[in-house]
C-alpha cells in the first residue's frame, strides 16, 4: 500500500504574500502519494489546529507535511497536533516557505515554494515511526565535594524531594571554609546543621569517587571511604569540587620568591591576611600594605573582590596605608563597583601599572617599584606586608573525575561547561552537572544562581522517576557493524559502547538516553552501519533529488 501524505499549506494570516497558494495547491496535488492538500490562514491557532485534527481523522493519512513557518516553531506545535489526531509525531515534516522563501525574495516565488514542499514530501515519505519508552531512573543524586556549593546543592535538592549523597575528600564538611566564612561570604555553620538534620542527605567523608560508568538516570558509582568500597546507583551527578588558590610567584631582582608559610619575607595570601585581620592578634600592625592584582592572571574576578574587601578592612581596622598595584580592577561581579568606590573613598591608593612591579627585599621590608601609567613616572613604595596575587587552580583530583565522566577541561584545568550562555552548568554528558568554583572564576552570588539552575535541571530529569526516550533512534546494523570503535571514539556525548548481541557478535550499541542525536557517528561510520532515523542517508538524498524536479 502506498503511503498517503496530507499536505497543509498555511499563509500565516496573510504574512506570505508572494506565493500563489491556489497554483501551489494544484501543482502539489499532482505529486504521487499526496492525497489531500488543504489551505489555511492560521494553522497554529486553536481553530486551525482543531480543523487539522478533524481533517487528519477524515483522510487517515500516514504522513503529514506542513508548509508555512520555520520548523523551529512549527515542529513542536504540529507534532502535538498529530499525536492528538492519533498519528506519531515522527510522521511530520515541515516546509519552510515563510522565512526561507517568501520573506527573503521579492516577486513571485511560487516555483520555489513548490520545490520546498516537494523536498519535504520526499523526506516525509521515508520517515519511520519510532517506539517511545519510559525508562526507569534512579532518583538519587550524588554530589561530589564538601564546600559551600556542594552543601548548598544538596540542601536544595533534598528540599525538592530528591535523596542526596555527599561525597567529600575532606574530613568534615566545609573544612576548607572553616574560620573564613565571611571571606567567602557564606554562612556555612547554619548549612552544616541543616545537613545534619536532613534525613534525605547522606554524608560520606572522607570519601573519594574511584569509578563511574553509565548514563543519565543510571550511573553506577564506586566510592571509597577509609578502605571500604561503596557501590551505588545514582540518577545524576553534581560536581562541586570547588577551587584552590595558589600564590603566583613574585620575582625579586629576577629571582622568583613564593610567598605563604615559611616565605622569606612578609608575603602573605588574601586568606592569611583575612585571618590576621579577623583575630586581631597581630603583634605589630603593619603600617604599609601593598596588594598585587591582575598582573599575571586575567581571570581575576574572585581575587579582585578579595583584594577590595581586605584593603578596606585593613584601612579601617588598622589604619594602614594601603596600595593596590594592578593592571586593571575588574568590577564586573556583583557589588564590586560599589566596593571599589568605597575603597577609593576610604583612602586606598590604586596604582595602575602596565608591567609587573619590581620588588626588592631589604631587612624585612619590601620595596615595590612600578611605573604609574597616569603619572608617567616610577612610584616606589616601601611596605611591611605584601599580599601576593592569587591564581585560581582546580583542586587535586579534577582530572581524574573528568576522565571518569568524560568531561573536557578548559585551558586552566577547570571543567568546561557545555555552553556558557545556554547550558552553563551542564556538560555534553547528560546527567552530569557542575556548580560553583569548579567552573572557574566564580563568586558567591553566581554560585547561588548555579545551585538553582542545577536543581531545576535535575528536577526535570529525575523527578518523575522515568525518562522518556525514543527507542533505537540511532542504531548500528548488526550485520554491517564490524566493531571498529570509530563511533565510540568520535561520539561527543559518550553515548556509545561495545556490547555483545544475541549471536555473540560484538557491535556498537547507542544508548537511547545519552544520545543527543547529532549524527556524527552515522556520517563517520566506515561501514555505513549506523542508521540515524530522521536523517538517514536515503532521507537526505531524497531531499536533494527532489530539488528542481519540476
Partner 1 sequence: MKGRVIAFCCEHSAYPAADLAGRLRLHYSESLRIIRVPCAGRVDVIHMLKAFEKGARAVLVLGCEDGACHHITGNTRARERVEQCQVLLDEARLDGRSVAMHNISPNAPQKFVRIADELVNAKEQSREAI
Which residues lie near partner 1 (CB under 8 A)? 70-72, 96, 98-100, 102-106, 109, 112, 115-116, 119, 408, 419, 428, 490, 492-493, 516-520, 522-524, 532, 534-535, 537, 540-541, 543-545, 547-549
Integer Cα distance of 440 and 76 in angstroms: 36
How far is Cα 143 from Cα 154, in angstroms, rounded to an integer? 7
Residue 426 contacts residue 418 (beta carbons within 8 Å): yes
**Rounded to whole angstroms, how far apart are CA atoms 496 and 514?**
8
Q: Are the beta carbons of 392 and 385 closer than 8 angstroms? A: no
Least distance to partner 1, CB of residue 503, Å: 29
d(CA 323, CA 295): 15
| Alpha helix (H) residue ranges in 60-139 | 71-84, 110-126
Q: Which is nearer to partner 1, 221 or 521 (CB)?
A: 521
Interatomic CA distance for residues 67 and 117, integer angstroms: 7
Tell me the closest approach of the beta carbon of residue 117 to partner 1, in angstroms: 12
Q: Count of alpha carbons within 13 Å of 22, Cβ hemisphere only? A: 0
* Sheet of strand 164-167, all strands in order from the earlier edge strand to the far edge: 201-204, 164-167, 141-144, 236-239, 432-434
Q: In the numeric block, which cell numbers belong to residue 307? A: 583584594
Q: Cell 558509582 maps to which residue?
A: 221
- Measured from the CB atom, is 253 or 421 closer to partner 1? 421
Our CB check for partner 1 shows the closer of 112 and 365 to be 112
Q: Residue 285 CB, nearest distance to partner 1 (Å)? A: 50
Closer CB to partner 1, residue 152 or residue 426? 426
Pairing of strands 321-326, 288-293: parallel
Minimal distance in Å, beta carbon 64 to partner 1? 17
Nearer to partner 1, 160 or 523 (CB): 523
Question: What is the rounded CA–CA span in Å between residue 460 and residue 73?
Answer: 22
CA distance 29 to 347: 81
Nearest to 195 by CA among 241, 237, 146: 146
Nearest approach, Cβ of residue 518 and partner 1 (Å): 4
Q: Which is nearer to partner 1, 122 or 138 (CB)?
A: 122
Tell me the closest approach of the beta carbon of residue 546 to partner 1, in angstroms. 9
The DSSP secondary-structure symbol of 353 reads B
In the complex with partner 1, the residue whose CB is nearer, 403 or 545, is 545
Give 3-state DSSP helix, strand, coil % of the chain, rounded to 5: 35, 30, 40
**Nearest approach, Cβ of 214 to partner 1 (angstroms)?**
20
Q: How far is the CB of 10 from partner 1 (least distance, A)?
A: 15
Nearest by Cα to 131 from 166, 161, 89: 89
Least CB distance to partner 1 at residue 169 (A): 29
The b/e string for 109-137 (b: 16+ C-beta within 10 A; e otherwise) is bbbbbbbbbbbbbbbbbbbeebeeeebeb
- The single-letter DSSP state of residue 160 is T
Rounded to the nearest whole angstrom, what is the least distance from the CB of residue 417 to partner 1 in the complex?
12
Nearer to partner 1, 85 or 540 (CB): 540
Sequential DSSP letters for 399-450: HHHHHHHT--B-TTSSB--SBTTTBTTB-SSTTEEE-GGGGSS--HHHHHHH
Q: How far is the CB of 527 from partner 1 (least distance, A)?
A: 13
Identity of the residue, 70 or 375, whose beta carbon is nearer to partner 1 in the bound complex:
70
Closer to partner 1 by Cβ: residue 105 or 225: 105
Return d(Cα 359, Cα 362) in angstroms, integer: 10
Nearer to partner 1, 104 or 501 (CB): 104
Amino acid at each position: 500500500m502506498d503511503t498517503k501524505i496530507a499536505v497543509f499549506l498555511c499563509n500565516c494570516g496573510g504574512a506570505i504574500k508572494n506565493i500563489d497558494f491556489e497554483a501551489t495547491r494544484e501543482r502539489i496535488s499532482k505529486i504521487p502519494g499526496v492525497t489531500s492538500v488543504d489551505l489555511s490562514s492560521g494553522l497554529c491557532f486553536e481553530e486551525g489546529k482543531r480543523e487539522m485534527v478533524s481533517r487528519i481523522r477524515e483522510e487517515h493519512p500516514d504522513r503529514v507535511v506542513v508548509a508555512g513557518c520555520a520548523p523551529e516553531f512549527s515542529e513542536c506545535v504540529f507534532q502535538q497536533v498529530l499525536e492528538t489526531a492519533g498519528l506519531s509525531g515522527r510522521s511530520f515534516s515541515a516546509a519552510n516557505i515563510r522565512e526561507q522563501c517568501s520573506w527573503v525574495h521579492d516577486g513571485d516565488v511560487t516555483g520555489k515554494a513548490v520545490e520546498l514542499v516537494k523536498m519535504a514530501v520526499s523526506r516525509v515519505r521515508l520517515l519511520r515511526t519510532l517506539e517511545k519508552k519510559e525508562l526507569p531512573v534512579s532518583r538519587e543524586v550524588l554530589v561530589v565535594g564538601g564546600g559551600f556549593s556542594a552543601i548548598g546543592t544538596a540542601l536544595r535538592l533534598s528540599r525538592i524531594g530528591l535523596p542526596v549523597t555527599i561525597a567529600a575528600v575532606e574530613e568534615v564538611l566545609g573544612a576548607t571554609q572553616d574560620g573564613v566564612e565571611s571571606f567567602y561570604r557564606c554562612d556555612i555553620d547554619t548549612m552544616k546543621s541543616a545537613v545534619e538534620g536532613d534525613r534525605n542527605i547522606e554524608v560520606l567523608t572522607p570519601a573519594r569517587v574511584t569509578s563511574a560508568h553509565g548514563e543519565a538516570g543510571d550511573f553506577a558509582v564506586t566510592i571509597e571511604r577509609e578502605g571500604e568500597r561503596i557501590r551505588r546507583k545514582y540518577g545524576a551527578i553534581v560536581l562541586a569540587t570547588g577551587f584552590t588558590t595558589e600564590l603566583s610567584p613574585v620575582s625579586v631582582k629576577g629571582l622568583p620568591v613564593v610567598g605563604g608559610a615559611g616565605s622569606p619575607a612578609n608575603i602573605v595570601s588574601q586568606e592569611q591576611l583575612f585571618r590576621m585581620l579577623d583575630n586581631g592578634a597581630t603583634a605589630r600592625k603593619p603600617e604599609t600594605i601593598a596588594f598585587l592584582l591582575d598582573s599575571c592572571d586575567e581571570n581575576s574576578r574572585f581575587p579582585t573582590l578579595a583584594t577590595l574587601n581586605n584593603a578596606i578592612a585593613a584601612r579601617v581596622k588598622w589604619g594602614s596605608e594601603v596600595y593596590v598595584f594592578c593592571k586593571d580592577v575588574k568590577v564586573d561581579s556583583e557589588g564590586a563597583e560599589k566596593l571599589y568606590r568605597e575603597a577609593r573613598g576610604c583612602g586606598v591608593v590604586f596604582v595602575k601599572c602596565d608591567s609587573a612591579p619590581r620588588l626588592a627585599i631589604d631587612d624585612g621590608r619590601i620595596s615595590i617599584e612600578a611605573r604609574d601609567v597616569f603619572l608617567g613616572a616610577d612610584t616606589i613604595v616601601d611596605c611591611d606586608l605584601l599580599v601576593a596575587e592569587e591564581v585560581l587552580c582546580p583542586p587535586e583530583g579534577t582530572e581524574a573525575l573528568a576522565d571518569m565522566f568524560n568531561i573536557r577541561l578548559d585551558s586552566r584545568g577547570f571543567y568546561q561547561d557545555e555552553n556558557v550562555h545556554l547550558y552553563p552548568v551542564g556538560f555534553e554528558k547528560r546527567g552530569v552537572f557542575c556548580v560553583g568554583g569548579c567552573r572557574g572564576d566564580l563568586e558567591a552570588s553566581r554560585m547561588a544562581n548555579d545551585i538553582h539552575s542545577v536543581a531545576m535541571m535535575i528536577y526535570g530529569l529525575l523527578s518523575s522517576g522515568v525518562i522518556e526516550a525514543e527507542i533505537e533512534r540511532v542504531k548500528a546494523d548488526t550485520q554491517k557493524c564490524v566493531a571498529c570503535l570509530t563511533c565510540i571514539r568520535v561520539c561527543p556525548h559518550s553515548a556509545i559502547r561495545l556490547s555483545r548481541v544475541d549471536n555473540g557478535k560484538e557491535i556498537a550499541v547507542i544508548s537511547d538516553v545519552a544520545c543527543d542525536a547529532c549524527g556524527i557517528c552515522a556520517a563517520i561510520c566506515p561501514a555505513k552501519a549506523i542508521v540515524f532515523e530522521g536523517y538517514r542517508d536515503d532521507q537526505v538524498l531524497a531531499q536533494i533529488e527532489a530539488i528542481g524536479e519540476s
